Amino acid sequence: MASHPNQTEILEKFRSDLVAEGLLQDGDSIGTDDETLLRFLKARKFDLQHSKQMFKDCYNWRNNVENIGIDELYRRIDPFDFPERNAIFDCWPMWFHKTDKQGRPLNVHFFGGMDVRRLYKVCTPERHWQSFLVNCELLPREVLPACSRAAGKHIGGTFVIVDLKGFSMGQLAIVNAPSSFTMIWAMIKPWISKETAAKVDILGSDYAKVLLELIDEENLPSTLGGKCTCAEHGGCHLSGAGPWMEGRVGWGPNAQAKRQVEQHAEIEILNSKLGASKQITTTTLDIKVSS
């Protein structure tokens, strides 16, 4: 959607109204930057009242989702480290993986690999839903900021690759599309904006050539025609590889266990230097691992 001729003035009014109504405060995880607020304005064609209602609805949802709010849910579930993660990504393949040539994160969806029946034998639907929420929240909290830092410029969208069918966020490439879907797309296309339609590519089985024009082969999973396998992590779908992992300190069970091992190792080294009379324990150092 094109910008409004009075966009600056409307944005300033929108921001001041949200602050006055207690809906926007510095540090809110919903996002307080101009780009975030403009999304609400553009979604409601710069109608202030409708935009404020949309923002209020979003604000209330974020504060009450799962009866604890999205911030608390994110504190409880590390999107890269929780017990059911491998099972979910094996049976419901939707994940972030490296970047395209513009620096945008790849968001890969293999809908043909979904096996919900197998997934729910090891993961409850409620837990699956919670993991979906934190992985969506991962995009604005960690993925996009990390991509912006790595690219040295603002990165505000994703490159979505969907096998068979999908939804556009940024740029979308639908691969292995059957002829029936091409017909369906031809019927849907007139009903969506030209800007959105221009972001969608419908590709057949020869999609690899097109993707490699946009994505370096070392970043594109081998299952999509690239050379990346992330073998050391059990596959690209489990690796979480990307600039967002650089220097990241997780808080899930694996990260906690790793920190405990490192802490005990440090204590052993100190004790070997101090001798038997001045032994150090975790209690002495007040070492704590956040839950």
Domain ranges of the chain: 5-67, 84-240, 247-281
Nearest to 94 by CA among 75, 73, 115, 108: 108
pLDDT of residue 90: 92
Decide if pLDDT at 105 tops 50: yes
Q: How confident is the model at residue 113 (pLDDT cuts 50, 70, 90)?
A: confident
pLDDT at 2: 57
pLDDT in tens, 89-100: 999 888 999 999
Phi and psi torsions of 200, nearest 5°: -110, 130
Mean pLDDT (the chain, rounded): 86
Question: What pLDDT, on a 0 to 100 scale, did the predictor assign at position 178?
Answer: 60
Fold of 5-67: Helicase, Ruva Protein; domain 3 (1.10.8)
State the DSSP string of 32-86: -SHHHHHHHHHHTTT-HHHHHHHHHHHHHHHHHGGGT-HHHHHHH-BTTB-TTHH
Residue 248 reports pLDDT greater than 70? yes
Check residues 59 and 165 and name the one with the higher pLDDT: 59
Encoding tokens for residue 12? 């300033």
- Please give the average per-residue pLDDT across 84-107, as a whole number: 94
Q: Is 205 exposed, middle or buried (0-12, 13-18, 19+ CB in 10 A)?
A: exposed
Residue 289 pLDDT exceeds 50: no
Express each pLDDT in 194-247 by its tens digit: 776 777 777 877 889 999 999 999 999 999 999 999 999 999 999 999 999 999
Q: Are 159 and 180 within 8 A, CB to CB? A: no
Please state the CATH superfamily assignment of the domain spanning residues 84-240 in this structure. CRAL-TRIO lipid binding domain (3.40.525.10)
4-57 confidence digits (pLDDT tens): 889 999 999 999 999 999 999 999 999 999 999 999 999 999 999 999 999 999
The Cα 193–Cα 154 span in angstroms is 24
State how far the alpha carbon of 149 is from the alpha carbons of 4, 78, 243, in Å.
29, 21, 8
